[in-house]
């Protein structure tokens, strides 16, 4: 088991024939992901990467039974693409697109929720269940199979942490980038709960950053609902106030959204909070050893 996706997951790609869409779809296929087709309006009936292209998501689902859509369309079309997927009853949209207008994502997420569709991202690297299924743009070779669940706002830190996990002799069950935008789909707490009930996951690591309060919401949630150990790192401990640090959502507004505030809340909730980004793997290993002894 794992969460959200596995070797049986059938995936379509919206924005299949573009440069990014083509390159990363091929990488996913090479990993073993069941990409079953793509959607590019006006190219329906043609083939790409040896797979069928459809004009609409609805048509693609009817023909392929896909449940997940990987979205690469340019930012100005991304809300439309998400809502089309939701309307066609896709279960999970993985949105890689960066620089989407906040208002568009607000609307698209609202509509997706009404239609029972979950979203990862936007502006995220995607999701990978090690050795089974990769839906996104992450470098596959870094992820070794194991029992650590990874949830991160940042792409490169997902890789960094998964690499550290491998270095301490462990591996990941599922690793998920949730994105660093002001409004995102699935958040830490949603995914923590899925990991809590996943038999293949024994410990979770969350990588947060400055801006917003998802980490604080996670802290409250962990205290009440999570029994498995959680390790956390918050990036931007030395970031100045009022400055956007790369990600659209990574900004301390007034006194809100600082790393300190988040680290304190998580610590209070019993989470093992790591100060140095070099120590995350080590901390996971230590708490895992302790956890296993207790069990």
Partner 1 sequence: MNIHEYQVKKIFDEYNLPIPKGSIINNYHDAINAAIEIGGKMWVIKAQIHSGGRGLAGGVKLAHSLKEVESLCKDMLGSKLVTNQTGPQGKIVEKVYIERGVNILYELYIAIALDRSIEMPVIIASGEGGVEIEKTAEEHPEKIIKIAIDPTIGFQDFHGRELAFKLNIPHDDVPRFVNFAKILYKIYMQDDAELIEINPLVKTKNGNYLALDGKMGLDDSALYRHRDLEELRDRHEENQVEAEAKEYGLSYVKLEGNVGCMVNGAGLAMATMDIISYSKGNAANFLDVGGGANANTVSKGFEIILRDKNVKSIFVNIFGGIVRCDRIANGILEATKNVHIGVPVIVRLDGTNAQIGSKLLKEANIPNLIVASNLEDGAQKAVNAAKE
Contacting residues toward partner 1, per CB under 8 A:
27, 75-76, 99-104, 106-107, 109-110, 137-139, 141-142, 152-157, 159-160, 163, 180, 182-183, 207, 209-213, 217, 233, 235-240, 243-250, 254-255, 259, 275-278
Q: Which is nearer to partner 1, 171 or 182 (CB)?
A: 182
In this structure, are residues 257 and 210 in contact, taking their beta carbons and an 8 Å threshold? yes
CB of 251 to partner 1, least distance (A): 10
Whether 163 is a known active-site residue: answer no
Catalytic residue among 24, 48, 163, 247: 247
CB of 235 to partner 1, least distance (A): 4
Q: Which is nearer to partner 1, 28 or 226 (CB)?
A: 28
CB of 250 to partner 1, least distance (A): 6
Q: Which is nearer to partner 1, 47 or 110 (CB)?
A: 110
Q: Which is nearer to partner 1, 52 or 121 (CB)?
A: 121
CB of 126 to partner 1, least distance (A): 12
Catalytic residue set:
247
């Amino acid at each position: 088991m794992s969460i959200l996706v596995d070797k049986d997951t059938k995936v379509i790609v919206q924005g299949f024939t573009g440069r990014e869409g083509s390159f990363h779809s091929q990488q996913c296929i090479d990993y073993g992901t069941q990409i079953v087709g793509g959607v590019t309006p006006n190219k329906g009936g043609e083939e790409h990467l040896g797979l069928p292209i459809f004009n609409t998501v609805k048509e693609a689902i009817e023909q392929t039974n896909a449940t997940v859509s990987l979205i690469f369309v340019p930012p100005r079309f991304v809300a439309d693409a998400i809502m089309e997927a939701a309307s066609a009853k896709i279960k999970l949209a993985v949105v890689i697109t960066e620089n989407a207008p906040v208002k568009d994502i607000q609307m698209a997420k609202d509509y997706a929720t009404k239609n029972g569709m979950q979203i990862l991202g936007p502006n995220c690297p995607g999701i990978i269940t090690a050795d089974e299924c990769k839906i996104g743009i992450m470098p596959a070779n870094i992820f070794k199979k194991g029992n650590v669940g990874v949830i991160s706002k940042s792409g490169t830190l997902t890789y960094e942490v998964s690499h550290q996990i491998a270095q301490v002799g462990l591996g990941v069950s599922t690793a998920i980038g949730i994105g660093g935008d002001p409004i995102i789909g699935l958040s830490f707490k949603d995914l923590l709960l899925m990991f809590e009930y996943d038999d293949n996951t024994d410990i979770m690591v969350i990588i947060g950053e400055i801006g917003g309060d998802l980490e604080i919401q996670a802290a409250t949630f962990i205290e009440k609902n999570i029994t498995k150990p959680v390790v956390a790192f918050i990036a931007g401990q030395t970031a100045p106030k009022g400055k956007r640090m790369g990600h659209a959502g990574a900004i301390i507004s007034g006194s809100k959204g600082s790393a300190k505030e988040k680290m304190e809340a998580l610590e209070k909730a019993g989470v093992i909070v790591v100060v140095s980004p070099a120590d995350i793997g080590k901390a996971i290993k230590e708490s895992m050893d302790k956890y296993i002894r207790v069990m």
